[in-house]
Amino acid sequence: MRRRFSPGRIALTLWAYASFFFLVAPMLVIVPLSFTDANYLTFPSPGYSFRWYEKFFTDGAWIDATLLSLRIGLMATAASLFLGTALALAIVREKVPGAALMQKAFTAPMIVPVIVYSVGIYYLFAGWRFTGNATAIAAAHTILALPYVVIIVTAGLREFDSTQELAAYGLGAGRWATITRIVLPQIAPSMLSAALFAFITSFDDLVVALFLSGFQPTLPQKMFENIKIDVDPTISAVSVLQIAFIVLIGIMVLFWNRRVP
């Protein structure tokens, strides 16, 4: 009891809450800005309306950018989840030579500055004439999202009881049947969490898209252009919708993981 209410523990708790509030406070300001009826960003707002949300949903440019980001995000998530899960299985279960070095190599995109990576991937794809389309951006995003998938799925595999695999082998199951019917269902929560991180990484990227996109911008690009050319409260409405969308997906993944035994 004394340890629970010690001054150091109370100070640490207060510091944690203060840090959390400091990080979340900008988001709290964006919400009222998105409902302003003014023609420019102003806080506090002179009045409130849904005009900027209406502008987003009725503007074809914003909708096209959103759909493009969703399509790229789903493509990158599917590719990184497939490759990352296969790599995690090779590292943990197959115990391939140099597995530790391989795992560190695939986490390199988390360390390399994104601008350096963007320049490198641009020159590589430009040499192949593979720029200006959604597939190129999705491929680049796959590499960025791969470390999150490898790390999370690897952790899930190491917590999974491998004796269940041995039992499946003993009952006559093959390697593929054991992976698809025993291993993958057991690590489904880890895979869902990895997919969430991969999607957020792709959906929120701006720098790579600036180098590889064509005439049609992604949603982060459209937001960036809006800030540079015509700053109006639409950017706040889009930001609120983006945050709400990501939070909703996170809640769905959380509840799904709790349902999985």
> What is the reported pTM?
0.82
Q: Which two tokens stand for residue 200?
A: 């957020």
pLDDT band at residue 131 using 50, 70 and 90 as cut-offs: confident
Residue-wise pLDDT for 6-34, tens only, equals 777 888 888 988 888 888 887 778 888 88
Q: How many helices (H) and strands (E) does the chain have?
A: 13, 0
Residue-wise pLDDT for 206-254, tens only, equals 999 988 887 788 999 888 888 877 777 888 888 888 888 888 887 887 7
Give the separation between CA 257 and CA 261, rounded to whole angstroms.
8
Is the pLDDT assigned to residue 100 strictly greater than 90? no
| Chain mean pLDDT for the chain | 83
Could you say which DSSP state residue 43 is in? S
Residue linked to tokens 């969703």: 70
Q: Read out DSSP for 99-118?
A: HHHHHHHHTGGGTS-HHHHH
Fold of the domain built from segment(s) 62-259: MetI-like fold (1.10.3720)
pLDDT band at residue 4 using 50, 70 and 90 as cut-offs: low
pLDDT band at residue 1 using 50, 70 and 90 as cut-offs: very low
Cα torsion for 132, 137, 143, 146, to the nearest 10°?
A: -170
